[in-house]
Chain A
Amino acid sequence: MLTHVVRVSLIGLVKLLIGANPRWVEAAPDLRKTPAQSIYFTNHSSHLDTWALWVALPAVMRARTRPVAAKDYWGNGIIKPFIALKVLNAVLIEREASRHRDPLAPLLAALAQGDSLIIFPEGTRRAQAEPGDFKGGLYHLAEAFPEVKLVPVYLDTLHRSMPKGSWLPVPLICTVRFGSAITRIANEHKKAFLNRAREAILKLI
């Protein structure tokens, strides 16, 4: 009950602040008509990114889509874990690489359960909207789950709404642009794949 109330209020707040209007670009299938298990990967420039994408998803999809968040930030205290684990149903991961366990393990487990994921393949926020080089995570997830759709998403104004280092947002309308899922190419090299994935986001600009 509490979770539900908080979730609905947060969705309202996000819409009031940044709109988070979805737009299905060109051939992108309307997700409301064809919900399929997907990995949404997007450019990362602000703390609002996860919220925008999560709110822009149709409710049916949102219920099965889990943002990926850093454990060192979201795991501490009472409120943050409540928001991350209960409200967003996020998958928490270790940012520091460890030799003892695979940092991607929680993501692979979520995909194995049939959940969709929201990930930021750059790993860190940038000052501008254009994404930087991708880290390898997306490639490994795509390898492990070849049937999951890889959907590029572009967030257009959030680097201005809440740039790194700011604590008060500027309300700007964010259009969440969903592209068509990128095609799979057999035996593609990691670097080529990651470049192609990045290009897919750039095409949405």
Chain B
Amino acid sequence: MVDYLVNLDPNQQFYCLIGGVSVLLFIASSIGWVLKTRLSQQAHASEKSRNTINNLVVRVNAWWVMLAVLVVAFLGGKLGTVILFGAISYFALREFITLTPTRVGDHRTLSLAFFLLIPLQYYLIYIEWYALFTILIPVYAFLLMPCISVLAQDTEHFLERTAKIQWGVMIAIYCISHAPALLLLKIPNYDGHNTLLLFYFLLIVQLSDVLQYVFGNLFGKTKIAPIVSPNKTLEGLIGGGLSAVAVGAMLWWITPFTPLQSAGMAAVIVIMGFLGGLVMSAIKRSLGAKDWGNMIEGHGGMLDRMDSVSFAAPIFFHLVRYFFSA
């Protein structure tokens, strides 16, 4: 079985994965459908259980859409993938800046962040200019954005405004862009397989989120950070995290890793994703919101879905680059 999977060409492996995820989603949809029918037959079903199940169904439906979008982008090759993540960054930054109090003096800086910085960052990935890709935002945007803002001569909360914009740009553009940047890594004996590595990364991050939610709902008792994120429990983290690591280990055949290395990488992704979710939740709350937006039904906004990706992607990228790329 394993030999068979390892020897498939990357395209066939890709379709195996899509098939696998579709089966999972199909099971989830069926469970949702069964629960919904059962509940509608009960006369005394509580409002809460009704809401939980409706939310489950809506979430699973959104997952089908997200999978479809991802597959279409991947079929579009490097260009399709870069455009998809560029759009994700755009919507994520839009949500971040909508909740951030900015002033008229920031207007030009913000326009340029959306319409110059996003295309430029993703263009650098497309042409595989690694050196500039890593410093464009931390060096050039970091210094030039306040230079543009300062020309408006509005000193009120200047540092706070600048810092918040830089945070938004770092998270929504720089960090998220490290996921598609996996395509530009040159890994020995892994030519033409990089899309699979990106798929592996996204699958582990999102599966970890979903499994933590499921385990948390089933067994959750001990809240980890009730003030920041009331839904995160120790039981959810351990159950969901370990399952995601196990899946990561089992998927070693699509990666350049050995099974053990793959488990380790998955563990890093799980931990960074978890912490990212926590930090982004704290930021959201400090900006006075419960969800980043309402773009993805049942999930909230784009950033509610991408918070763990943004924290896990750069670390995963650099670990792979340091230890596995030529």
Q: Residues of A at under 8 Å CB distance from B?
A: 19, 21, 127, 157, 160, 163, 166, 168-173
Contacts and interface: CB of A to CB of B under 8 A. Distances in A.
B94 A173 contact: yes
B107 A170 contact: yes
B55 to A, nearest CB: 19
Interface of B: 90, 94-95, 97-98, 102, 104, 107-108, 110-111, 114-115, 293-294
Given A21-B294, A157-B98, A170 B111 contact: yes
A170 B294 contact: no
A170 B98 CA distance: 10
Contacts of A170: 97, 107, 110-111, 114
7 contacts: A160-B104, A170-B97, A170-B110, A170-B114, A172-B94, A172-B97, A173-B95
Contacts of B94: 19, 171-173
A127 B104 CA distance: 9
The winner among A19, A160, A169 for most chain B CB atoms within 10 A is A160
Contacts, number: 32
A30 B248 CA distance: 47
A172 B113 CA distance: 13
B148 to A, nearest CB: 12
A139 B98 CA distance: 34
Contact of B115 (A160, A163, A168, A173): A168
Given A163-B104, A171-B94, 6 more contacts: A157-B98, A160-B102, A166-B108, A166-B111, A170-B107, A173-B95
3 interchain residue pairs of minimum CB distance: A168-B111, A170-B110, A172-B98
Contact of A166 (B95, B107, B115): B107
A173 B107 CA distance: 15
Nearest to B294: A21
Contact of A171 (B90, B108, B294): B90
Nearest to A174: B98
Contact of A163 (B90, B98, B107, B114): B107
A127 B105 CA distance: 12
Nearest to B90: A171
Nearest to A17: B94
The winner among B90, B95, B97 for most chain A CB atoms within 10 A is B97
Contacts of A160: 102, 104, 107
Contacts of A21: 294
Contacts of A171: 90, 94, 97, 114
A168 B116 CA distance: 12
Contacts of B110: 170
The winner among B90, B95, B111 for most chain A CB atoms within 10 A is B111
Contacts of A173: 94-95, 98, 293
A160 B99 CA distance: 11
A8 B120 CA distance: 29
Contacts of A172: 94, 97-98
B103 to A, nearest CB: 8
A127 B97 CA distance: 18
Nearest to A166: B107
The winner among A127, A168, A173 for most chain B CB atoms within 10 A is A173
Nearest to B111: A168
A14 B296 CA distance: 18
A166 B90 CA distance: 20
A128 to B, nearest CB: 10
A127 B114 CA distance: 22
A7 to B, nearest CB: 23
Nearest to B104: A163
Nearest to A168: B111
A21 B293 CA distance: 11
A169 B113 CA distance: 11
A134 B110 CA distance: 32
Nearest to A171: B94
A69 B102 CA distance: 29
A196 B4 CA distance: 74
A173 B111 CA distance: 14
Contacts of B115: 168
A36 B115 CA distance: 40
The winner among A19, A163, A172 for most chain B CB atoms within 10 A is A172
B77 to A, nearest CB: 23
A172 B263 CA distance: 40
Contacts of B108: 166, 168
